[in-house]
Amino acid sequence: MREPVVVGVDGSTQALRAVDWAAAEAGCRRLPLRIVHVSTGWERGDIPAYLGRGSPSAEPESPGLRVLDAAEERARTFTSVPIERRLGVGPVPRTLLEESAGGVLLVLGQRSTGALTRLLLGSVSRQAAEHADCPVVVVPMDPDRRARRPEIAVGVDGSDASVEAVGFALEEAAMRGVGLRAIHVWNRPDSPPDMRPVCYNALTAEEEGARVLSESLAGWRAKYPDVPVTEQVIEDRPVTVLAEASRTAELLVVGARGRGGFPGLRLGSVGHAVLHHAKGPVAVVRRTGHGAGG
């Protein structure tokens, strides 16, 4: 079977938003959909209200199967691709990572009432974004309902991860038949209170940003020549600009880690903040070692 789009569910309505997105994506890619639920305590009968609370089942796995049933029913309203289900028991991050190893995408809800994605910046989503063998897409709990532009947006800072993000973004744009907006954001460094403000040449910064965009896009544009690309160099805070892009684009793509930061913070502070404030789906792409063009 071809590699599937994988979506993690925990029975929450927020997770069903992820199912909606994953099912539509699987249909667009003409790939199977794999729905994964990891049991983490519902064996005691702690079932989400919308699933109902009937007589306690004698089978420990029944609550998890009911979660999968609800997710599959929801998915079938968005796609006709083959759907497979996986019920796991054990550590949530490890199980999801094992399932994502054979997938093209891992899709999660932004927040949840359960253990799967209780907090966007928590251990499960962080470990998924940092260690998954495929891109991770986080679908917001309350997406902005205004009309979106027919485009994919990607944040570009010249890092290896952002170059990989460009490739993924161009693939998505080509698949959907929309354009790509490549964004490089810069801002003036803050000066300590007891020092004079740092002099910063805006023209030089703009030229450097244009160079970063050009070099990051160069290797990929030849592979996707039919995708119209708009390049933007913007002076502002990266989180502000990228969060706004997530509100207007069909999908925002960011690298798992940009320039700077601490070695242990593999997702990066900007990536964390963008995910937290996103108003639309965000794909986090980790460097895989594949260069432009594959």
Q: Is the pLDDT of residue 134 over 60?
A: yes
Q: Is the pLDDT of residue 142 over 80?
A: no
Q: What is the pLDDT of residues 193-225, one digit of tens each?
A: 555 555 566 778 889 999 999 999 998 999 999
Are 38 and 116 within 8 A, CB to CB? yes
* Domain 151-285 sits in CATH 3.30.70.360: no
- pLDDT score at 105: 93
Q: What is the pLDDT of residues 70-127, one digit of tens each?
A: 999 999 999 999 999 998 877 777 788 887 788 999 998 876 444 444 433 345 555 6
Give CA 118 to chain center in angstroms. Answer: 16
Q: What is the pLDDT of residues 173-186, one digit of tens each?
A: 999 999 999 999 98
- pLDDT score at 291: 43
Across 117-133, b (16+ Cβ under 10 Å) vs e yields bbebeeebbbbbbbbbe
What pTM did the predictor assign?
0.81
Write down the domain spans for the chain: 5-139, 151-285
Strands 282-285 and 105-109: unpaired
Q: What is the pLDDT of residues 235-255, one digit of tens each?
A: 999 889 999 999 999 999 998
- pLDDT score at 122: 44
* Domain 5-139 sits in CATH 3.90.1310.10: no
